[in-house]
Amino acid sequence: MMTLAEMLTELIHRNGSDLHLVAGSVPTVRVNGVLAALGGAEALGPKDVRALFEPHLNEQQLALVDASVDVHTSVVIDTPAVSAQYGEAGRFRACVFWDRRGLSAALRVIPRKIPTLTDLFDAETEPIFRRLTQQRRGLILTVGLVGSGKSTTVTAMVDTINAERVEHIVTIEDPIEYLYTAKKSLISQREVGSDVESYEQGGLSAMRSDPDVVVIGEFRTPEAVRIALALADTGHLVFATMHADSVTEAVRRLVESFPDNRASMQRMISRSLCAVIAQRLVPRASGVGRAPANEIMLINSRIRRMIIEGDDDFSLAIEAGRVEGMQSMDDSIMHLYRSGAISYEKAWEILQDRDRLGLKPSIE
């Protein structure tokens, strides 16, 4: 059986993003968003996944695995092949969990280099994100489904602040993904499970750490949301992510986190929110890599009033806010298509309003 290091080395060699290990199945990699069996690997037995991870988990983590508790951690692989590609050891985010057939795991490559906003976005979209990094207070919420690149977008914004401003940045992550190098800012990175017990404890601790910027890796509980809103409401800049498919769903989920205190939380959300960004990754027309498509809602007086009144149909407000830098997901997809980043077929597949696309151009 291949070792975990060998599998991850092959993943890196193929420029893949994810490795999936499921008992009873052949190890599978994701390359450019498409799943494929890992060549040369055999189907995993019921005990194989645990054996693969034993060299990479500590005693406490192995005890959690044996107690059928999910383990979220990072794995470091330092093989000559990985070092040759990265210049140093490779890092991977790992989730180890149980399903009906046994122990399984999903690992994602953590790129060594933190991408810049220019790396991620084109000349039309990048200035919108750069303006957000110039904010001094408020909550910037980035949402999307699993694998949508939300954490990478947040990291690029935070590292822009790190490069341009003298601030104290505190991150609470599960696990730590990108490793920041302090530039102009002072950075404290804290990992759930080793440095703090939970996002909630990390957020409360951050309040007492004299931060300017706080990063909460993911909203998982109403209490984490409440702490982030309190930080934003008291003059801090807060970045967070959430699993949601659109800005409307994100705001709805924020409000619905507090069913017993809905009206007061709507007021607090309206005061604290600075921007909501929904992101998805779209395969590029070249066949190499994926391009981010973004719905961007910047909070203005109209949207604050809508949140207070419980009106979460933001489509017209976003359309009216284009001059401010707002855009719908369809706006972003159409821009990617017109710039040649994505194909007509892919744009047709994911657009909500396909009439905007028109007929497919003929090739002469």
What tens digit of pLDDT does each residue of 69-83 get? 999 888 988 766 666
Give the start-to-end residue ranges of the domains of the chain. Answer: 4-110, 117-356
Q: 233: closest CA among 191, 275, 271?
A: 271
Report the range of poorest mean pLDDT among 10-24, 224-238, 313-327: 10-24
* 273-312: pLDDT as tens digits: 999 999 999 999 998 889 999 999 999 999 999 999 999 9
Does 117-356 match 4-110 at the fold level? no
Burial of 140 (0-12, 13-18, 19+ CB in 10 A): buried
State how beta strands 168-173 and 290-298 pair. unpaired
Task: Decide if pLDDT at 88 tops 70.
Answer: no
Match 């330092």 to its residue by tokens. 78
The Cα–Cα gap between 254 and 97 comes to 27
The Cα–Cα gap between 337 and 293 comes to 11
- Helical axes 150-164 vs 126-133, angle rounded to 10°: 60
**In the predicted model, what is the mean pLDDT of the chain?**
93
Distances 123 to 114, 118, 120, 127, 207 between C-alpha atoms, Å: 19, 8, 10, 7, 36
- CATH 1.10.3720.10 given to domain 4-110: no
Q: What is the pLDDT of residue 15?
A: 86
Q: Model confidence at 85, in pLDDT bands (50, 70, 90)?
A: low
Is residue 74 within 8 Å of 94, Cβ to Cβ?
yes
Q: What is the pLDDT of residue 90?
A: 81
Task: Decide if pLDDT at 61 tops 50.
Answer: yes
Is residue 239 within 8 Å of 150, Cβ to Cβ?
no
Mean pLDDT of 140-146: 96
Q: Model confidence at 364, in pLDDT bands (50, 70, 90)?
A: very low
Q: What is the pLDDT of residue 363?
A: 60
The Cα–Cα gap between 234 and 207 comes to 10
- CATH 3.20.20.80 given to domain 117-356: no
> Using the 8-state DSSP alphabet, how is residue 341 labeled?
S
Is residue 128 within 8 Å of 325, Cβ to Cβ?
yes
Q: What is the pLDDT of residue 87?
A: 54
Between 73 and 252, the more confident residue is 252
Q: Model confidence at 89, in pLDDT bands (50, 70, 90)?
A: low
